[in-house]
């Protein structure tokens, strides 16, 4: 019983420390001490499987396995969007409309809150325990992302207090703190990866990741702004409900303010437009709501937004500086992009020395030249953009900017394809392209080769030791140890990392290849349908576009990539080196189709392809992407195409949705 008592004590302690740190912003203990407490709790729970782990135990925040997909759920109350304004005068109009609907004699108070630049989320609690979290989606329905939201330590797994209703809902904004954004980008820079553009994009992308463990590593946070539930549970005003959420243990942004009139609102807006850079997170405006909930009911909603609230959007931050130089960078796909090298200037709390210029058409449109004084704008972006040239400050005789004719790395003549605005270097052996491709290949999210930093990649490419991915697997310790800043121990670590990369899952290899338009999520989707790289290499465009989420552009890119003889030769060399090129098919479940091989084709009247695939796998079938003599059935819908013809030629039984459902029953 001593262990049980200790577990209860640890859970209370860790939950208290989480609340102090993630909600109140107070660090009571060091990270080292916190990690030791968590390890102790995990060990005790593992030691005593006979004792059920409570839902609010800190160990239950991260699930052990990736989520296969995010089911869609209906919101109990619609998640409406807010009417936006960029003009302070709109507040007076808003106030007039409110008073006109409520009556001129009505006493109206407003609550002003900071508009957090993140993602709107709904949290459902049952008996005080966090049960489900969903995205806004279309306002009526959103994606159930509960496993990912459980990793956010600012979100309580159990609400505080007694006498809680059977169900209540809390809404708020998930965001990435600036400090975490900088930490993530610093780590990416060290690995030679492309930097994330802004915290909001990282937060949005993170919530779509299907592995909660990876989500947890991003350290997202949340501010809550809405409470929904039985009337007996709610307070009479929005301001008091914000206070109530704080008492229940929810993170509420501390800067909300009760405004007695619209002038108070304007003062609040002007204050935070000036002071926003001092916050530890991004805001893009202010939200103003009628305080009295009864008045909110009387005002009601339009089809899209409530009549009792308005959002004021801040202007993007700008600064004046001078363009020292325009450089042209070569990416891994050969795209050559212009970047303005700036006289360093402070903007939104950071030192800015570079700004993206996008492409030559953008440069011509804005007439941007070296030596120009320009306004740069930063709306949360890590690389700001040039808004406009201050023509009155242009030095005399400054020549127009011309696009380079040759690649700055290999001097191959640049090309433009069709209607594309991008300039490209067509030389796939261009040293800069090779460096960028190898950087991507060895990246943590790809084949995760320990010890492979950008400087080593550049040194190996310069020395001619690595020209493609297969060359990495031919490296020996002496090839690396002889390079600058690389000794025998470092070389041994790199070789060990290369060896370990051979065992990475197939989806990581597909992502590592850098096929245009194929990111890591698309790679994960592909291995659900193709269990080896050979199967993917043999797939046609029709077969690929039949997969949900794989459009014609991506399908064409995959087919074109694997057509190239040099790519096939490189993959053959990697296979010979022992690189894993297979994915384990899902284990066949017991069912009426156990051991059967089924191909899906066409559009089914009552089932999506993913639903049909899931039902087939639950029935024990193995779903493949192409028809062969080993296929047992073809499940065909409308516009079945070539797979249906091939099945008929081979004499393979073709079934429709009705016959399929009869099989299952």
Catalytic residues: 115
With beta carbons less than 8 A apart as the criterion, state whether 386 and 340 touch. yes
C-alpha–C-alpha distance, residues 311 and 83, integer Å: 6
Q: Give the 3-state secondary structure of 548-592.
A: CCCCHHHHHHHHHHHHCHHHHHHHHHHHHHCCCCECCCCCCCCCC
Q: Name 325's bridge partners.
A: 341
Closest CA to 436 of 452, 451, 416, 458: 458
C-alpha–C-alpha distance, residues 56 and 40, integer Å: 17
- Strands (DSSP E) contained in 348-395 are 350-356, 373-378, 385-389
* Residue with the two structure tokens 């209540």: 168
- Strands (DSSP E) contained in 165-316 are 167-175, 221-228, 257-259, 283-290, 309-313
C-alpha–C-alpha distance, residues 237 and 598, integer Å: 58
Per-residue burial over 234-250, b = 16 or more CB atoms within 10 Å of its CB, e = otherwise: beebbbbbbebbbebbb
In total, the chain counts a number of residues equal to: 665
Which residues, including other chains, have CB under 8 Å from residue 532's CB and lie 6 or more apart?
Answer: 506, 581, 582, 583
Which residues, including other chains, have CB under 8 Å from residue 358's CB and lie 6 or more apart?
Answer: 337, 338, 385
With beta carbons less than 8 A apart as the criterion, state whether 107 and 35 touch. no
Question: Which of left, alpha, beta for 535 (phi over 0: left; psi -120 to 50: alpha)?
Answer: alpha
C-alpha–C-alpha distance, residues 613 and 624, integer Å: 10
With beta carbons less than 8 A apart as the criterion, state whether 326 and 338 touch. yes
Per-residue burial over 68-100, b = 16 or more CB atoms within 10 Å of its CB, e = otherwise: eebeebebeeebbebeebeeeeebeebbeebee
Q: Name 116's bridge partners.
A: 283
């Amino acid at each position: 019983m001593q262990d049980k008592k200790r577990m209860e004590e640890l859970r209370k302690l860790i939950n208290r420390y989480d609340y102090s740190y993630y909600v109140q912003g107070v660090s009571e203990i060091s990270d080292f001490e916190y990690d030791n407490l968590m390890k102790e709790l995990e060990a005790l729970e593992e030691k005593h499987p006979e004792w059920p782990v409570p839902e609010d135990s800190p160990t239950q925040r991260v699930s052990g396995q990736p989520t296969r997909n995010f089911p869609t759920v209906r919101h109990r109350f619609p998640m409406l969007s807010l009417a936006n304004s960029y003009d302070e005068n709109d507040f007076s109009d808003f106030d007039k409309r409110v008073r006109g609907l409520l009556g001129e004699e009505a006493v109206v108070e407003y609550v002003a809150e900071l508009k957090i630049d993140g993602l709107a989320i709904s949290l459902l609690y049952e008996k005080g325990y966090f049960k489900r979290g969903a995205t806004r989606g279309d306002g009526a329905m959103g994606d159930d992302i509960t496993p990912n939201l459980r990793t956010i330590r600012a979100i309580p797994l159990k609400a505080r207090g007694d006498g809680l209703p059977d169900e209540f809902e809390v809404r708020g904004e998930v965001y990435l703190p600036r400090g975490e954004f900088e930490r993530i980008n610093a780590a990416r820079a060290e690995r030679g990866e492309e930097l994330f553009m802004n915290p909001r994009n990282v937060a949005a992308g993170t919530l779509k990741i299907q592995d909660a463990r990876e989500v947890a590593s991003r350290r997202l946070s949340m501010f809550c702004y809405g409470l929904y539930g039985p009337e007996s549970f709610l307070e009479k005003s929005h301001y008091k409900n914000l206070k109530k959420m704080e008492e229940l243990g929810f993170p509420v942004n501390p800067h909300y303010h009760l405004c007695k009139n619209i002038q108070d609102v304007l003062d609040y807006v002007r204050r935070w437009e000036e002071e926003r850079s001092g916050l530890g997170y991004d805001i893009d405006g202010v939200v103003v709501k009628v305080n009295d909930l009864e008045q909110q009911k009387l005002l009601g909603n339009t089809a899209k937004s409530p009549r009792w609230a308005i959002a004021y959007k801040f202007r993007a931050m700008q600064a004046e500086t001078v363009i020292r130089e325009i450089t042209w960078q070569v990416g891994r796909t050969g795209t050559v992009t212009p970047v303005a090298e700036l006289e360093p200037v402070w903007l939104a709390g950071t030192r800015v020395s570079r700004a993206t210029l996008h492409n030559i058409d953008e440069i011509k449109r804005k007439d941007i030249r070296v030596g120009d004084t320009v306004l740069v704008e930063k709306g949360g972006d890590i690389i700001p953009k040039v808004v406009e040239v201050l023509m009155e400050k242009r030095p005399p005789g400054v020549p127009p900017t011309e696009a380079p004719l040759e690649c700055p790395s290999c001097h191959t003549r640049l090309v433009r394809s069709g209607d594309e605005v991008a300039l490209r270097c067509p030389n796939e052996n261009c040293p800069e392209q090779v460096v960028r491709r190898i950087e991507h290949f060895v990246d943590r999210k790809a084949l995760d080769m320990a010890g492979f930093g950008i400087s080593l990649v550049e040194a190996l490419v310069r020395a001619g030791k690595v020209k493609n991915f297969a060359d990495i697997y031919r490296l020996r310790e002496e090839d690396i140890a002889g390079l600058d800043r690389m000794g025998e121990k470092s070389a041994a670590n790199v070789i060990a990392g290369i060896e370990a990369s051979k065992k990475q899952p197939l989806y990581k290899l597909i992502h590592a290849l850098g096929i245009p338009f194929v990111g890591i999520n698309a790679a994960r989707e592909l291995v659900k349908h193709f269990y080896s790289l050979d199967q993917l290499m043999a797939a046609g465009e029709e077969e690929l576009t039949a997969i949900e989420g794989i459009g014609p552009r991506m399908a064409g890119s995959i087919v074109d990539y694997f057509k190239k003889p040099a790519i096939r030769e490189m993959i053959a060399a990697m296979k010979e080196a022992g690189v894993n090129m297979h994915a384990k098919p899902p284990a066949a479940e017991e069912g009426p189709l156990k051991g059967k091989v089924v191909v899906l084709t066409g559009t089914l009247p009552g089932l999506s392809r993913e639903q049909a695939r899931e039902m087939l796998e639950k029935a024990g079938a193995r779903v493949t992407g192409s028809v062969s003599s080993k296929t047992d059935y073809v499940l065909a819908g409308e516009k079945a195409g070539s797979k249906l013809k091939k099945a008929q030629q081979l004499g393979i039984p073709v079934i429709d949705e009705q016959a399929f459902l009869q099989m299952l029953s």
